Amino acid sequence: MSRVPIKDFYNRILGYIEEKPNGDKVAYDFYNRILGTYYKSQNVTKDFYNRIIAKGDVTSGLVYNAKNK
C-alpha cells in the first residue's frame, strides 16, 4: 500500500490518500480520520457513512473539502 500526502499551496499537509493493491483508495484527513473510500470495482466514491457521493475517484476532493469545514 502506498500513502501519498495531499498538500496545499504553502506545502502544509492536509491529509493522505492510501492506495490498496486492488486499486481502492482511502482518504484520510490530517489527523488520520477516514473521510471516504473509492471503490475501483464499482467506480464510485463513498463517504465515511458509506453513502455514494460521486461516480469516479474524488478522494483528493474529500481531503480538500475537509480542510474548509
**pTM for this prediction:** 0.89
Contact of 3 with 18, CB cutoff 8 Å? yes
The answer to whether residue 69 scores a pLDDT higher than 70 is no
pLDDT in tens, 31-57: 999 999 999 999 999 999 999 999 999
- Residue 45 grid coordinates: 466514491
Determine what percent of the chain is predicted with pLDDT higher than 90: 87
Partners of 37 in beta bridges: 26, 46
Mean per-residue pLDDT over the chain, rounded: 92
Q: Phi-psi bin for 42: left (phi > 0), alpha (psi -120 to 50), beta?
A: alpha
Q: According to the model, what pLDDT value does residue 43 have?
A: 96
Residue 59 CB coordination number (10 Å):
24
Q: According to the model, what pLDDT value does residue 67 have?
A: 66
